[in-house]
Amino acid sequence: MNETQGPLDTLPEQNYPPLITRSNYWGTKELINQVISEDQEYVSWKLKDVRTGGTMVAYVNEFRSKNFHGTGGLSGSSKRTNNNAGRIKKASHVNSIPKNLQFPREIHDEQIASLPQPKELEQSEQLNLLLTNLDEEQMNRFEVFRRTSLAKNNIKKISSIVTNQTVAANINLLLAGVGKIFVGEIVEKAQEVKKRSLVILMASVFRNKKLAAHKLKKTFKKLTLMVETSEMSLDDSVDENETDDYEDESDEKLTKETNTFNEIIRSQVNSEENRVTLIKYYNRLVRSFNSLDVSVEKYTNSPILPEHIREAWRLYRAENDTVPQATWRTQGEGNGWFFR
């Protein structure tokens, strides 16, 4: 019975000729290409989100629409270019820097500065304004952060060991507050490390899926030509006589299957045994293809692992030289990393 746990179905080892036809080959090939195309769009989107940070895209798009589509007026140089549209403008030097070059952060700062500035609020009013605009997830994180504190006994013990003397209680309280901020920064950095590790996992899975898709099309085309022994050929970009490489030379079973597949591919013998062997190989590829999922959304709420903490600490020392930073605590006009 065919397996229907993924986009592709396996082939039976008996009574298979009705399922291995030219029309089925073209349909299966189109389905594989569609799945790979959708995964490619998802992978490209995730990679772009990681590379750009996902914070300045809206401002950059608005800046482009204003300056290149005529919705917000043109700059002085652009107006002069339009007035002299019939003339050929002399090309600037290839290494010259455009005078109107702007970075995303500068665009963001200009737009923030153009907004009407509200009156200064007191600290209690700012806190109330913050709490009323947090969603459920942000509120939970805020409450956990407010209620979390470092153990006083451990702080007292560490301060005594470092200073080799008894430390006053108010100093230990200050150290506990600074330590809490420091732990928050390390956790945020570990979250970023986890996000990037998931993107790396996604790219690796997508590469394996593309490789499995290529092998699937090649194997199914070879089976189609063996079952339908007509003189008409299947003219496309898939080379059914291309041999496979070893995925893992240390895996003896997988190496043996690959060698057997390559022998059948190179051989011109159209026997029942070779067909069944190719069907088994094709079914293994189908199960592998169906099980490979590039989506990493299901791992978003996964816990932070020890290797994430170690890498976050290494990056923290390399980026800040052990100096605490305050960017993640900035709200309003800043990036607001902590309660994003």
Cα three-residue angle 285-270-284, rounded to 5 degrees: 10
HEC secondary structure over 280-332: HHHHHHHHHHHHCCCCCHHHCCCCCCHHHHHHHHHHHHHHHCCCCCCHHHCCC
pLDDT attached to residue 38: 93
pLDDT attached to residue 275: 87
pLDDT attached to residue 33: 93
pLDDT attached to residue 109: 83
pLDDT attached to residue 230: 63
How many other C-beta atoms lie within 10 A of the C-beta of residue 81? Answer: 13
Domain boundaries, the chain: 21-53+124-329
pLDDT attached to residue 31: 93
Percentage of residues in the chain having pLDDT higher than 90? 17
State how far the alpha carbon of 202 is from the alpha carbons of 8, 195, 278, 304, in Å: 21, 11, 29, 18
State how far the alpha carbon of 43 is from the alpha carbons of 52, 82, 163, 212, 296, in Å: 14, 39, 51, 17, 10
pLDDT attached to residue 124: 87
Question: In terms of CATH architecture, what is 21-53+124-329?
Answer: Orthogonal Bundle (1.10)
Residues in the chain: 340
- The answer, as to whether pTM is greater than 0.75, is no
Q: Which residues of the chain have pLDDT under 50?
A: 1-2, 4, 71-82, 85-86, 88, 328-329, 331-340
pLDDT attached to residue 39: 93
Rounded-to-integer distance, Cα 156 and Cα 151, Å? 9
Task: Measure the N-to-C terminal CA separation of the chain; round to a whole number of Å.
Answer: 49
Neighbouring residues of 227: CB distance < 8 A, sequence distance ≥ 6: 16, 17, 20, 21, 275
Q: Let me know: does 12 contact 2? Beta carbons within 8 Å.
A: yes
State how far the alpha carbon of 58 is from the alpha carbons of 44, 159, 317, in Å: 18, 46, 32
